[in-house]
Amino acid sequence: MGIAESGWIILGNTFRCRDLPAVHQPSLAALLRGFPIADPTAEAVEVPVAPGDDAPLIEYRLINEAIARAHDRWVLHAGAAAGPRGTCLIIGESGAGKTSLTLWLWSSGMPLVTDDILPVRQGDLTVERFPRALHMDCVYSPRLLERIPPRPASYPADYYPFPEPPAGEPPPVSDLLVLERGEAGEAPRFAPLSQGEVAHHLLRAVIKSPGFDYGQALTGMIGLASRCRGRTLRSASPEEAGEATLAELARTG
Amino acid sequence: MNERDETPDPGSAFALAPGVRLEPLGDGSAVLYSRELDQSLSLNHTAALLCSFADGRHTVSAALREIREVFPHDTVEEAALTAFLSDLAARQFLQWV
């Protein structure tokens, strides 16, 4: 199952794989150990998960497999939203607030590209949407939760649907934000990054699957770094990070 | 090279370690990549310039002289330069010749 060819959405209670080519169904069946082969003409394939099944683990296996098969793409652990100048990437250590900031930008009107996983085509360095269910798997800011559309009643509490993407591809990458956790009471602060630092941060965000070629990825990330403006954003709260980012992107857009 | 404590002296020449590549970037910064280690380092403009002299012929003092010519208004200390090169050598990105 490729990433670009097969838009697919995974839900917490059933897996709905949309537009899955028939040729990939045996692979998916093997991966899920017993997945029933569906009608090849069906628009979506429902994969029921029985009570007690570990849905996140199945999702993890699916995504890992998709990344391992994406030979012509680098896959970054990053959030991304389409801003005034182009696609803004958001990276940072685990818990730094990537998901919160990405969802804040989305709920402020910027089209969502991904909340967590970002494929980058190796040829032209364009990015793709990754429309899996949004993850809300830790404690999020009440102000953030108020801003995003309500969760359908049929969805598990820790999953939200990916919004319907706008027509067309996401715009070229223009900005990179590297999130750093600030101390309580500290005002949000941006600091510019050199192209070398941008390339280095991007390289660290690339998911290293088997067969990963470090030198080739470095060349790609240097190319991406030359196209975008990088900054660190140090902030104590997701709300302040969101508002500061919106102002910064509008100011430099 | 001072053999007792392995601190390079101003007359020591230096070179990138085998398999290490310097990737200069448009804003003067650079990335140093080691194929052997599968690691990279990002360099600011001064460090990038210094590494551009890592050809096995430039000594520390010769590199310092050239850097001071490029950045006449900056204070570039020999000790800081030597410490940086020693750090790169410890990380196996550079070798003393």
> Which residue would you say has higher pLDDT here, A179 or A62?
A179
- The predicted structure's pLDDT at residue A201: 94
pLDDT for position A9: 42
Q: Which token pair is A28?
A: 């998916």
| DSSP assignment string, B14-49 | EEEPTTEEEEE-TTS-EEEEETTTTEEEEE-HHHHH
What is the overall mean pLDDT for chain A? 81
Contact B30 A196 (CB under 8 A): yes
Q: Which of the pair, A151 or A15, is modelled with greater confidence?
A: A151
- Greater confidence, A36 or B45? B45
pLDDT digits (tens, 9 = 90+) for B35-71: 888 899 999 999 999 999 999 999 999 999 999 998 8
A218–B45 CB contact, under 8 Å:
no
What is the share, in percent, of chain A residues with pLDDT greater than 90? 45
Closest CA to A127 of A253, A221, A247, A60: A221
What average pLDDT score do residues A55-62 get?
67
Q: Taking residues A112-133, what's their average pLDDT?
A: 90
Q: How confident is the model at residue A211 (pLDDT cuts 50, 70, 90)?
A: confident
Of A46-55, A90-99, A100-109, A216-225, the poorest mean pLDDT is in: A46-55
**ipTM confidence:** 0.79
Confidence of residue A164 (pLDDT cuts 50, 70, 90): confident
In angstroms, how far apart are the furthest CA atoms of chain A? 57
What pTM did the predictor assign? 0.81
User: Looking at the predicted structure, is the pLDDT value of residue A106 above 60?
Assistant: yes
In which residue are the tokens 């993850």 written?
Answer: A135
The residue among A30 and A241 whose pLDDT is bigger is: A241
- Put simply, the answer to whether A214 touches B25 (Cβ < 8 Å) is no
Instruction: Parse chain B into domains and list their residue ranges.
Output: 13-96
Query: Would residue B28 be called left, alpha or beta, if left means φ above 0 and alpha means ψ between -120 and 50 degrees?
Result: left
Please report residues of A whose CB lies closer than 8 A to that of B27. 194-195
Pairing of strands B13-16, A229-235: unpaired
Domains of chain A, by residue range, sit at 1-69, 71-252
Chain A residues within 8 A of B93 when measuring between CB atoms: none
pLDDT of residue B3: 46
- The pLDDT confidence band at residue A148, using thresholds 50, 70 and 90, is confident
Q: pLDDT value at position A162?
A: 75
Asked if pLDDT for residue A143 goes beyond 70, the answer is: yes
Q: Pull the structure tokens for residue B2.
A: 């001072």
Strand partners, A88: A81, A175
Residue A31 confidence (pLDDT): 66
CB contact under 8 A, B40 and A218: yes
* B3/B62: higher pLDDT: B62
Confidence band, pLDDT 50/70/90 cuts, at residue A224:
very high
Q: Residue A167's pLDDT band (boundaries 50, 70, 90)?
A: confident
What is the pLDDT at residue A163?
79
Contact between A195 and B26 using a beta-carbon 8 Å cutoff: yes
What lies within 8 Å, CB to CB, of A148 at 6+ separation is: A103, A106, A107, A160
Question: pLDDT over 70 for what percent of chain A?
Answer: 72
We find that the CATH architecture of domain B13-96 is Alpha-Beta Complex (3.90)
Q: Could you give the CA distance from residue B11 to residue B60 in angstroms, rounded to a whole number? A: 6
On average, the pLDDT of chain B sits at 90
Give, in order, the Cα–Cα distances in Å from A2 to each of A6, A17, A61, A158, A244.
6, 12, 14, 26, 36
Q: Among partner residues A196, A200, A214, which is closest to B38 by beta-carbon distance?
A: A214
Residue-level pLDDT at A5:
36
The class that CATH gives domain A71-252 is alpha beta
Q: Which residues of chain B make contact with A195, given a CB cutoff of 8 A?
A: 25-27, 29
pLDDT band of A3, cuts 50, 70, 90: very low
